[in-house]
Amino acid sequence: MEQSAKKVIVSLKDIFLRFDGEVILNHINLDIREKEFVTILGPSGCGKTTTLRIIGGFLEPESGDVIFDGERINSLPPNKRNVNTVFQKYSLFPHLNVYDNVAFGLKLKKLPKDEIRRKVKHMLAVVDLKGYEKRPVQKLSGGQQQRVAIARALVCDPKIILLDEPLGALDLQLRKDMQMELKEIQKSTQKTFIYVTHDQEEALTMSDRVVVMNNGVIEQIGTPEEVYNEPVNAFVADFIGEANILNGTMIDDCRIRILGKELECVDKGFGKNAPVDVVIRPEDMMLTTPEQGQLVGVVEKVTFKGVHYEMSVRCGKCELLVHSTSSAKIGETVGMRVVPFNIQIMNKLLPFYDNIIETEVISSSEDENWLEFTLEKETVRAEGHFYPAGTKLRITLPPEALSLAGDGDGDLQDVYIESVVYKGEHNEIILESDERKWLMLSDTDEQVATYVPLNFDFSKAGFEVLEAAASEG
């Protein structure tokens, strides 16, 4: 590929970082090449801004290496790095006018006055702010302040420009214009841009490569086409664009079963009868007559979106999203076809479905029919089950047995919501506690990257004795 011919300019190797004992970046590896426009994309709290601040020099990783142009620069302060940042809130100096804001970095480099003047004038022309030199920065509009911030970073002629959600504060139309302009500026100045955003559309529009992050890890790195068309897992598929994400079973190479139907696909190497996640983009669903359809369902909702109709089709218990230029009536039975190439097969986010705990009963009561065991330093009581203290148990909790405690007092406190993926029927929620991950089903939308209390319903759990309690004589 043409891309890989270019030299790697900055490289993050096994970066690990914690704040207050909480893992923010979990062994990140990332290579960024010269003249590349790379976007780090992810929901808030995923560690994307932290990654940027490590490259900028505002944070030092706990372990791992930051390599810039072949040199390790972990603890090099920001002022000594050949990197400049466009900050989220612009951070323009309120006591300086436009000219002095842009000239700030050049004056520190002690360049001759007329050279500074020439460079600033040129850069203001590049960002389309000719004649604004004497204006106080507070009197500028959001878009203009943004341009000043970009000019201020560019004029220092760094190797890399870091942009931390720079368009977040602008309204939609201005944001779209600025996206185009940023891409133009990046092309004409031939600089490496590292851009952080939570807006997937922005990422797809501007980037040469997209880095999708979640919960402190990189989920996927690829071109916009790759992350959209070939997401590696349900999280990426869900985060980028609209998608039908379904549970499926890989019967054999190129044979997949979803919604009780066997379909042809093009993916191989998942093994036989392996549970997988399947992605079908709504625009890849073709409406047909019920007789011709691979899948058959009833139209429940139709919304006109301008370019296409968005339809929600119920297929058994499952809801499918279909984009089509032709409309169907609500209540109408329709068929749907997908070409094999458009069925994307992915490994499950978790290697298990049922949540399994292996533990030992610490106390129990036969009369009242309960037992207690320790789970991640908390004592959990299971009502309705009795085994003598000391019994080693394997408890199988299916995803339905997990719920979020509404009263704020759960069996496990402060469990982190890592991802929420809608599977047509339920949301599949992946939770992370101190020591492990959990899979839960929910009909409500939960907020990702928040902490919640988790409850277990032991009436739905399976109990298996691994080792009986030693009798006490």
Chain positions contacting other proteins, by CB under 8 A: 56-58, 77-79, 83-85, 87, 89, 91-95, 104-105, 108-109, 152-153, 156
Q: Which is nearer to other proteins, 98 or 346 (CB)?
A: 98
Complex with other proteins: residue 164 or 202, whichever CB lies closer: 164
Across 223-369, the runs of DSSP E, i.e. the strands, are: 244-252, 255-258, 261-264, 274-280, 286-288, 295-304, 309-315, 318-324, 333-337, 344-346, 355-365
As measured in angstroms, the least distance from the Cβ of 59 to other proteins is: 11
CB nearer to other proteins: give 92 or 431: 92
Of 56 and 231, which has the nearer Cβ to other proteins? 56
Give the nearest distance from C-beta 360 to other proteins in angstroms.
43
Structure tokens at 142: 């959001």
Burial class (CB in 10 A: 0-12, 13-18, 19+), 246: buried
Q: How far is the CB of 77 from other proteins (least distance, A)?
A: 7
Minimum distance from CB of 45 to other proteins (Å)?
Answer: 20
Closer of 89 and 268 to other proteins (Cβ): 89
Residue placing its CB nearer to other proteins in the complex, 104 or 386: 104
End-to-end CA distance of the chain: 73
> To the nearest whole angstrom, how small is the minimum distance from the Cβ of residue 96 to other proteins?
8
**Inter-residue contact 94 to 117 (CB < 8 Å):** no
Question: Which of 82/342 has CB closer to other proteins?
Answer: 82
In the complex, the smallest distance separating the C-beta of residue 218 from other proteins, rounded to whole angstroms, is 25
Rounded Cα distance between 3 and 148, Å, is: 31
Residue 427 C-beta-side C-alpha neighbours within 13 Å: 18
Nearer to other proteins, 84 or 215 (CB): 84
Q: How far apart are CA 244 and CA 234, in angstroms?
A: 10
Q: Report angle CA 415, 417, 419 to the nearest 5 degrees.
A: 155
Q: CA torsion sign, 238 to 170 to 123 to 93? A: negative
Q: Based on CB atoms, which residue is closest to other proteins, 76 or 254? A: 76
DSSP secondary structure string, 318-354? EEEEEEESS---TT-EEEEE--GGG-EEE--SSS-SS
Least CB distance to other proteins at residue 83 (A)? 8
Measured CA to CA, the distance from residue 441 to residue 425 in angstroms comes to: 10
Q: Which of 346, 334, 324 is nearest to 246 (CA)?
A: 346
Closest approach, Cβ 106 to other proteins, in A, equals 9
Q: Are strands 378-383 and 451-456 parallel, antiparallel or unpaired?
A: unpaired
Task: Output the smallest distance, CB 99 to other proteins, in A.
Answer: 13
Cα 89 to Cα 400: distance, rounded to the nearest angstrom: 43
Residues 419, 389 contacting (CB under 8 angstroms): no
